[in-house]
Amino acid sequence: MASIEYISNPRAIEMFWANVVVGATDDGYCWGWRGETNKNDTPLIRFYEGGKRKEFYPRQISLMLHNKQLSKRVELTCGNKLCLNPLHLVSGNEARFWSKVKKLPEAEGGCWVWTGGNREGDYGAFGIMEGGKCKQVVASRYSWELHTGQRPPSDLFVCHICDNPPCVNPNHLFLGTTQDNTADRDQKGRGQRPKGELNAMALVTEDDVRRIRELYASGIPPRQINKMYEGVIGRTGIRLIIDRKTWKHI
């Protein structure tokens, strides 16, 4: 396979601008790509130079041209695979965060469900790199900081209007003290969250859970099982089901 470069290349930049349809720079507009894509529908620039095949990803080029943080992994915040608006592209910790978020439509509550690992109480757990070290944070707290630009004070909780702990939609979050959180819970009469399929945020069915565990017991590795459920639940979710850390009642 040809090497993938992340440095400036005049021909690649020329091909970038020749194939991108630039909308307004407002965050509400996508920049469409009309050039080549790979098998995952990700924009791709490919050509021969000096007898060697060169490959460039337009997402990285867009970040580079607009002086944004650059890394091999880039995710979209708009959900449009062909978008190259630098305001819709993120890398580093932020890219990893978005790769673990599943946005539900407003008709289904509008929650942004965390599909990565969970902490006690079903709150999302997210490992970030900070100062060269990895540390674990609550996904909803990271989302609050990401969307407000302010780190939540350590003495305040990031509470959920939607009463759904895995949700990281900033519009469903608010800061509160222990007393605020308790009062909100009592006012809504919130008891134990429904289990299994009764939980509106469930990503799989009880039959899926049984099948996943049966496949694993038969010797099929988690990575292969994950491919069977790609787009439904992530690899971490599969592992948690197998280890009975979720869906414990099945």
Backbone dihedral region for residue 107 (phi beyond 0: left; psi -120 to 50: alpha; all else: beta): alpha
What pLDDT, on a 0 to 100 scale, did the predictor assign at position 84?
92
Spell out the domains of the chain, with CATH numbers in brackets. Answer: 10-97 (no CATH), 106-187 (3.90.75.10), 201-242 (no CATH)
Strands 89-91 and 101-103: unpaired
Look at residue 76 and give its three-state secondary structure: strand
- Indicate the pTM of the whole model: 0.54
| Percent of the chain residues topping a pLDDT of 70 | 83
Query: Rg of the chain's alpha carbons, rounded to an integer?
Result: 21
Q: How far is CA 205 from CA 120, 132, 151, in A?
A: 22, 39, 36
What pLDDT, on a 0 to 100 scale, did the predictor assign at position 168?
94
Q: Mind listing the pLDDT tens digit for each residue in 104-118?
A: 888 888 899 998 888
Q: Which residue has the higher pLDDT, 232 or 33?
A: 33
